[in-house]
Structures are given as C-alpha cells and as structure tokens.
Structure 1
Amino acid sequence: MSLPSFVAGSGTLDRLVDTARDYARAAASDNTLKAYAQDWAQFTRWCRLKGWYDQCGTEPQLPSPEMIGLYLADLASGSGGSPALAVSTIDRRLSGLAWNYAQRGFALDRKTRHIATVLAGIKRRHARPPVQKEAILAEDILAMVATLPFDLRGLRDRAILLLGYAGGLRRSEIVSLDVHKDDTPDSGGWFDVFDKGTLLILNAKTGWREVEIGRGSSDQTCPVHALEQWLHFAKIDFGPVFVRTSRDGTRALEKRLNDKHVARLIKRTVLDAGIRSELPEQDRLALFSGHSLRAGLASSAEVDERYVQKQLGHTSAEMTRRYQRRRDRFRVNLTKAAGL
C-alpha cells in the first residue's frame, strides 16, 4: 500500500497510507495471514529448487499458470521425498497464492486451463470424504468440566468450555471476546448479561452476528454463571474476557489468551475425563479439537435445525448438518413418500 508515483507525499497522506495498510491487514484474520505467508514461502522455495528463479529474478513476479499447474501436481504426487498433500490443503495453498499475487498487483486466474484441469484431475483421483473431528456431547462436557479445579485458572477454563459449548463458538470467537464494545483494538465482540442469559455480539468469520446463550439448569452447568464467576474473582471489568493468569494461578493478567489455549484445554480435559478411553492416547488427542465444541452443540441440541443453524452462524442448513454427528438421517423418508 503506497501513494501513486504521480502524487507528492505529505504528512497527512503518509498517515493515510499507514491507516490504509492497517485496514488492509484487518481484511483477514491473523491466522489466515500467517497461513498465506507460509503458502508463499513454500511456493517460492519450490520455485528456487526448480530453477524458476533463473528466469524471474529473486522472486516469481508473474503468475505463470503452467508453473503453478506443475506445482499443484508436485504437491499431489508427493515427488521429491515430500509427502503428498490432501486435496483440501492443495486447494488452500492455491488460495494463498492467489491472495499473495493480488497483494503484488497481479491477478491469478484459477480458471486458466493449466490450473483448472490439473486441479480437477487431482480432486477426481485423490479426493476423500472429509475427516471430521469427534463431537463433544453433553455427558462429555460435564465430565470435562468436573476435572477442573476451583482456583482462578479452573474458573476461567470452566467458563471457556461451557460458553464455547453452549454458544457453538469457534475458538477464535471465544478468546476475542471483550467485556464492552470497543474495549480493545483487536476485539472480536462483546457481551451483555440479562436475567435469562447472555447475548454475545460477535464479529465472526461470516460477519457480525448475535449469539444468545440461556442460563443452565444448575449453577454447576450454567455457562452464564461460569462466566460471571470468572469475571468476579478475576476482577475483570474492562478489556479481554479471557486472559492469562499468574504462574501460581492467583492473579489474572492483562494479556489475552491465544486461541490455541482452547484447543489444548479441550485435549487435556478429554484425556483427564477418560473420554474414548478404549483408544490409545495419541488417537484420542487426534479425535478432538476446537471444532468438537461446535459439533457437540449441533449433535446434542434436540431442537429445530434452524435454531442450531442460527446459533452456529451457518448460511445453509447443509453446513449445519455436517456438524451433526448423530441425527436421524431417515426422519424424512422420500422412498415411502414417493409411494414405494
């Protein structure tokens, strides 16, 4: 982001350039930007190994569809001693390249035959059904919460699990919550507490949305009560909701938790609660992730599907069904409805 060559710089314009750069960086999440940067680094390394830099200088400036088609084929075949990548990963890498080229002022047309036909062939030959993470069901989340102590750190982690489960939240949505609107520049939303529950206002992956979380049947399982307890004992009334604690677990610090804490918390409490104990530990760890909370709500809430869809922020019922690990798939029997 810079001034056009025919425009003379000034203090005001230079400050606007900096502001525009900040907005441009905010167009995608930190995790997405990090992934795109890795995609570009891996692609440029591949170009260097294949000698493409000899023709293009120090960086592959022009997006050559032919070379990118070869790159995709290399990723899918796993040649050169590297493991073959999943189709979803290859698709994501291509999106990363398109984004990086766009930042450099070039357009990468994914529909060009050198790219589109190679990618279509990769999908036809190597595509597999997506591997879904295990859903954390109601009895699981209760067992996980029961493993947590009642010190400050335990109160925080209990609120994270219950709020994430009842709200069907992404792990990034959990840790980006602030107490009030505009408390911090990196806020992903805030909340209001009412007698019957709490309302989360989230700047989510698909835009702004509201998530209503009602109070539970008891204080031990109530996400709103858990949130209130954490904020009260941690003395948090401004800024990030979920922050780190001191090593001795007696004080809440100011630094916001990373979303990886949610994933680690889920895996640790799954092990401590003995969930899927018939499997080896490594397999159990691989089964669960942050998405297990969202899948758990979708699978456990026995209500009309549209309410689950709204809670998860999905634009289609089909996406919501992907999260439902247990449901009556044949509740609507079109065979009988057709007269057979």
Structure 2
Amino acid sequence: MTFPPGAVQDDEPDGNSFALPAHVAGSGSLDQLAETARDYARAATSENTLTAYARDWAHFTRWCRMKGTDPLPPAPEVIGLYLADLARGTARGPALAVSTIDRRLSGLCWNYAQRGLPLDRRDRHIAAVLAGIRRRHARPPVQKAAILAEDILAMTAILPHDLRGLRDRAILLLGYAGGLRRSEIVSLDLHKDDTPDSGGWVEIMAAGALLTLNAKTGWREVEIGRGSSDRTCPVHALAQWLHFARIDFGPIFVATSRDGTRALDRRLNDRHVARLVKRCVRDAGIRADLPEAERLALFSGHSLRAGLASAAEVDERYVQKQLGHASAEMTRRYQRRRDRFRVNLTKAAGL
C-alpha cells in the first residue's frame, strides 16, 4: 500500500508543533516563549525514552521501505501488518516479546503525535491484532534475580580501595539500601539545583542520608540510615567517595581519569550501574553454579532494587514507600523471597 502523492516522509518529528499559529504575528518575545515551550515539551519525556522512540521510528520507516510503502501519513492497516510481522519473527530476526511490541507501538504513537498526525491505537486494525498477539504469545514477565545482603557484601569486598573502587562501592551500597533505579543513582547531585539535568540531591546527616528524587512517578524522599559498620554503611561509602574525589558541587557519581587518580566533571551514564553489577557478580562468584552467560543475564541494575525488597525484613509498607510504589502489589513483584502463604485463605474459609 502506498499513500497519495505529496505525502510527507520526514525522518524527524516536526519541530513546529509549538510554533505560533499562522494568524498570530511573531515577535521576539513570543518566538522566545515558543522555544521555551518546546524545551519544556522535550523535558516531559526522559532521554532514555526519547532514544527508544527514535529507534522505534527508524525501525518502522526501514520496514516500510522494505515493504514498498510509506510511513506517513499514519495508516492503521499498515501498523497492524507491522505488529504482526514483529510477532511472527523471520529469518532476519526472532519474534519480539509482547512487551517490546507494545513499546514499539507506543513509540510510533508518540512519533506520529509529534508530527501532528495522531494515531488511534484503538483502531480495529491495530487493537485486534495486538489483542491476538497478547493472547497467543504473552508470557509471564522474566524477573531479574535479587542481590541479597550476603551478595552485596561479597561484591563490595572485591572492589579495590582506589578512587574508582570508592565510587563503585558507594554506587552499589547506596543503590541497594535506597532501592534505587539505576537512573536515579547517576542523576543525583550533591545540592539542590546544582545542574540542569539533575534528578535529585542528597543531604548527609548524623543519622543517615536523605535523598530527594525526581523519579518517574514524581518527587519522593528516600531515607537511607547508617549501617552497622563503616564497611557496610552506604552513607559512609558515599562520604568517603565525595571526600577523596573532592566533590563539593554538581553530579555525585562521575567518571574518573584514565589513571584513576582524579574525578572528572562528567556524569556517569546509567549503563555504568548495570555493567558494574554484572562485573561484580562475576568477580565475586555469585551464582557460580550457573554458566557465565546465564549468570550475567540473570542480574542487572534492577537487581539492587529487588534486593532491598527481598531482604528487608520490615513491614511491607516501609519497603513500598522506599521504592516509591503506588501499590503493595507492585512491591510484592519485587520480593523474590517471601512467605506467599502467610495468609491462608483455604483455612480461613473453613477447609
């Protein structure tokens, strides 16, 4: 299927979506406000999500070229065929997971909306195909393994005591004790409003550290108390890193010089956390009973977050608050070891 002559095929979203209407005379101040509005609109979506949506659009436009059709304007019939192709798999690549297909569709909807061409994902050509894909191919979510207390101690023990080791030890302990997402860890600044790309800041107090985070679910505070010893204390590890890295302003977790003797002013990417977790799992011999490839696939940056939920033996609502979950059910998904039958409805019903 091809679209009428003159159909636009740009590869980038329309940058004029926040331009002045045609009947409004432009001026310096109004043009400046339009640019400000565009900046705020870009800030509404995280960089990682924007990157994923850009890849989704690139994949779809390439698929359209291969099939002899056009990506613009949006055609629900074509989108339905694209989703079916993703689900069946081909010799060029395996079938995608249902969650990935759903994400791809969200990426297309976002890209079309930026071009002023909304796509109705409830259209029968899309909704029926997606419902069939879910019914036939949906599987329970694959969860990453939790890093438990004994694991985190083994992982931090193998880190050297140089500048990089101090930084990575603070990342692991703070991420574990705070139940933090990897993006939340690396977006921390030392003080409020230190940098434009800050995702929160830290206050170190006598009893612990208070983190104020601008997370995906909104602003929240995370309280991290001091540990039972300096060796295992996340607050002590953070203070040690800040002291020896001579950081008194801006991003907390930054890159180091090639020789490892100086802290640079470049904020770490969140992928560093994932790589750090996998490297330490391997070097510390965590789950050494498994083949290395399977073992590394089992753990990720999210394993720190699942570790706190699984290991903290306190009332569930405190864990829920720390993780910033809206419901207890979401928190339970993170608890890899818990008494699932503590409440026995069979007995309670008289059987």
Q: TM-score, normalised by structure 1?
A: 0.96
Confirm or deny that 1:100 pairs with 2:111. Answer: yes
Cα shift readout 1:290-334 (whole Å, capped 9, x = no counterpart): 100000000000111111111001111111111111100000000
Confirm or deny that 1:90 pairs with 2:101. Answer: yes
Secondary structure of 2:188 counterpart: coil
- 1:72 aligned residue (80, 83, 89): 83
Cα shift readout 1:144-203 (whole Å, capped 9, x = no counterpart): 000111111110000000000000000000000001110000000001111111110000
Q: Greater CA deviation, 17-26 or 154-163?
A: 17-26
Which residue of structure 1 aligns with residue 189 of structure 2? 178
Cα shift readout 1:11-62 (whole Å, capped 9, x = no counterpart): 2222222211111111011000000000111111111111112xxxxxx222
Partner Cα distance (1:9, 1:267) in 2? 54
Partner Cα distance (1:235, 1:247) in 2? 17
* Residue correspondence of structure 1 range 173-212 to structure 2 within 5 A: 173-212=184-223
Which residue of structure 2 aligns with residue 127 of structure 1? 138
Which residue of structure 2 aligns with residue 113 of structure 1? 124
CA RMSD of aligned residues (A): 1.0
Q: Greater CA deviation, 109-118 or 129-138?
A: 109-118
Which residue of structure 2 aligns with residue 288 of structure 1? 299
Confirm or deny that 1:40 pairs with 2:57. Answer: yes
Cα shift readout 1:267-301 (whole Å, capped 9, x = no counterpart): 11111100011111111111110100000000000
- 2:66 aligned residue (30, 45, 49): 49
Partner Cα distance (1:168, 1:296) in 2? 8
Partner Cα distance (1:83, 1:37) in 2? 21
Please report how far the alpha carbon of residue 8 of structure 1 lies from its aligned counterpart in structure 2 after TM superposition: 2.5
In structure 1, list runs of 5 or more residues that go unmatched.
54-59
Moved over 4 A (4+): none
Aligned pair count reads: 334
Identical residues among aligned pairs (%):
81
Cα shift readout 1:102-131 (whole Å, capped 9, x = no counterpart): 111122111111111111100110011111
Which residue of structure 1 aligns with residue 261 of structure 2? 250
In structure 2, list runs of 5 or more residues that go unmatched.
1-17
Please report how far the alpha carbon of residue 245 of structure 1 lies from its aligned counterpart in structure 2 after TM superposition: 0.7
Please report how far the alpha carbon of residue 80 of structure 1 lies from its aligned counterpart in structure 2 after TM superposition: 5.7
Partner Cα distance (1:81, 1:37) in 2? 21
Q: TM-score, normalised by structure 2?
A: 0.93
* Residue correspondence of structure 1 range 259-278 to structure 2 within 5 A: 259-278=270-289
- 1:216 aligned residue (205, 222, 227): 227
